[in-house]
Structure 1
Amino acid sequence: MREWGFLFFDNPNFLRHIVLKDIHQLLDFCKRLGPSDCYHSAAYYTNPAVPDMSEKNWVGCDLIFDVDADHLDTPCKKDHDIWICNKCNNEGKGNQPTTCPKCSGKDISKITWICDNCLNTAKKEIIKVVDEFLISDLNLNPENIFITFSGHRGYHIHVEEEKIKKLDSNARREIIDYITGNGVDPTYQGLAQIPGGLIIGPKSDDYGWRGRINKYAVRFLKEADESKLTEIGLTKPKRKLILENREFIVENLSSTNKFIPGVNGISWDVAKLKINDWLKIVEAAVKLYAGKVDEPVTADTHRLIRLPNSLNGKSGFKTELLRRDELEAFNPLNDAQVFTGYVKVKIKRAPRIVIDDTSYGPFYDEEADLPMSVGVFLACKNLADILTNLKQ
């Protein structure tokens, strides 16, 4: 059985170690107590109600991954995330400072927002993790992989496959390291300088991290400008070589039929780049393009995860359960909405938000008549108070 946990609107404490045996008990619990957020354990226990984790008798755990826009480098954050100093009311956009630049105060609040860009970035990461790593490399059954929109700024993956349920935390960290490229050594993946001075490397159609290193290096060279090449430690002459010969380098690395007799790989000996230059390029490319997942969530074999198809108390959005083939078309700002009707709200302040293809705001110290989905979202963010329901 699973353990259940709940958060409430009027109580900051997490209620957990609950046993609910079926959907009827779950619905009855929610009707009676009205939680803001519902969770269940990824783990299975024989005694889930026991508070002491060592006495719950752990028997297995689903493999869970979390991708959150908070952990992704999205340019839109500087446009819609807001921080406010609670001492002097100074405010700004983008990353929250540790101290207020105006009064040096440390009591700083942050309004973390969502938009199409950050949600789509998180979705692309989830697709990459599922397709490239879980299905292609780890050979997990797609029928056992379930995806949920978290109801806020990201996505969760639930892998319910018997062969992985007994994995301990260390084994799950190994999977995370594989997905994120932590510890990937390009020299063990075929990038080397062989006797005679020729530099060889993997082909784009090689399996696993060999092919990935090639594709990531090509992508990096296509996208990098001079500042990025400087950042990774390439000298000015090498930067000039790359920028002037970009297409030639990319074409050579993208070829899969330029075999070298007796060598497992192709020539990376192009544009007078040395082996150390390639190592810098590959290291930067892996860091940029490898999977971005939250390690503690996957490694924790006692983790509570948000209940699929419940509501997220931070947004009022549905934690939508999805199959892989539904993911591309899914738009949480439209498809995760459950509330209908209209409300009058008193708004303290709020950035612009687009819900159901309609733009609302920005707002500052004003009343507004809004769709219920928008009003609930602002209220969940503690940016507005709902005054009254309105007739449709």
Structure 2
Amino acid sequence: EVNVSFSGHRGYHVHIESEEVRDLNSISRKEIVDYITGTGLEAEFHGLEESRYGSNVLMGPHLGDLGWRGRIARGVYDFLLKAEREDLAKLGLRRNVEKSLMKNRDLILESWNLKGPWSLVKGVGIESWKVIIKKGIEAQAARIDTVVTTDIHRLIRLKNTLHGKTGLLKVELPIGDIESFDPLREAVAFKGGEVTVFIEEAPGFRIGEESYGPFNKEKVELPTAAALLLLCKGLAEVVE
């Protein structure tokens, strides 16, 4: 069973409740972390290879493939679809490779849509594609807290408790609602009351449907939830 909760701070907790994973040690959890983050992936083990028809014809994973094969293909596809010449230059590719990719981009992407070869373009070899694939992996990788995920002794906050850095609640939610969940509205613990605070400096922010700030050396009266957020962040202090 998979349970998802907003942590009350910067991210979400995903709990896998199963006997199969309960006894995993830190090393086993590190393997899971590496898979989720795409660490150490080798393109050759995920479908990138020179065709027997010649080194200019490269075969690669398809857009609809499962697992990291498909994620690599989709990551590189999206990158090439939007890339400008300077984006390719930042990867350290040779100028002739950059020029060839930009000139033949539509041909390459069309071939991928038809499950054809990755590259029919002269001068763009397997080593260049490995560099581009790293960019695709980066785009498809999930950003997780690797330390918490591998630590088998870590205490995890209980749901409906306050986070000390925000004053927001840890809230459990259906996994299908994660895209639409709004923590600044749905994880607010204090719905009423007001607090007078002095704010040294704070950027603009939102709690619920209301926006506040920016502030600079101001004494203001704020709803409890907004004041608590600033207090927890060390940006304000309570005054009479």
Change (3 A) 1:292 1:254: farther
Offset at 1:187? 0.6
How many residue pairs match? The answer is 236
Extract unaligned runs of 5+ from structure 2: none
1:183 corresponding residue in structure 2:
40
Specify which of 195, 200, 203 is matched with residue 348 of structure 1. Answer: 200
Extract unaligned runs of 5+ from structure 1: 1-143, 257-265
1:194 corresponding residue in structure 2:
51
2:121 corresponding residue in structure 1:
271
| Structure 1 residues 84-123: aligned runs within 5 Å | none
1:386 equivalent to 2:231? Answer no
4+ runs of 1 displaced by more than 4 Å? none
Amino acid at match of 2:238: I
Offset at 1:381? 1.0
Amino acid at match of 1:179: I
Matched-pair contact (CA < 8 Å) for 1:378–1:384: yes
Specify which of 163, 175, 197 is matched with residue 20 of structure 2. Answer: 163
1:239 corresponding residue in structure 2:
98
CA–CA separation in structure 1 for the residues paired with 2:75 and 2:154: 32
Offset at 1:271? 3.2
Change (3 A) 1:284 1:328: closer
Amino acid at match of 2:101: I
Q: TM-score, normalised by structure 2?
A: 0.92
Aligned residue for 1:347, secondary structure, equals strand
Amino acid at match of 1:268: W
Q: Sequence identity of aligned pairs in percent? A: 39
Offset at 1:145? 0.9
Offset at 1:367? 0.6
1:172 corresponding residue in structure 2:
29
1:227 equivalent to 2:78? Answer no
2:164 corresponding residue in structure 1:
313
CA–CA separation in structure 1 for the residues paired with 2:164 and 2:143: 25
Specify which of 146, 149, 156 is matched with residue 6 of structure 2. Answer: 149
The structure in which a higher percent of residues are strand is: 1
Amino acid at match of 2:27: N
Aligned residue for 1:267, secondary structure, equals coil
Structure with more contact order per residue of length (Cα contacts < 8 Å, sep ≥ 6): 2
Matched-pair contact (CA < 8 Å) for 1:316–1:373: yes
Aligned residue for 1:291, secondary structure, equals coil
Offset at 1:274? 1.6
1:297 equivalent to 2:154? Answer no
Q: TM-score, normalised by structure 1?
A: 0.58
Offset at 1:301? 0.8
Amino acid at match of 2:103: E
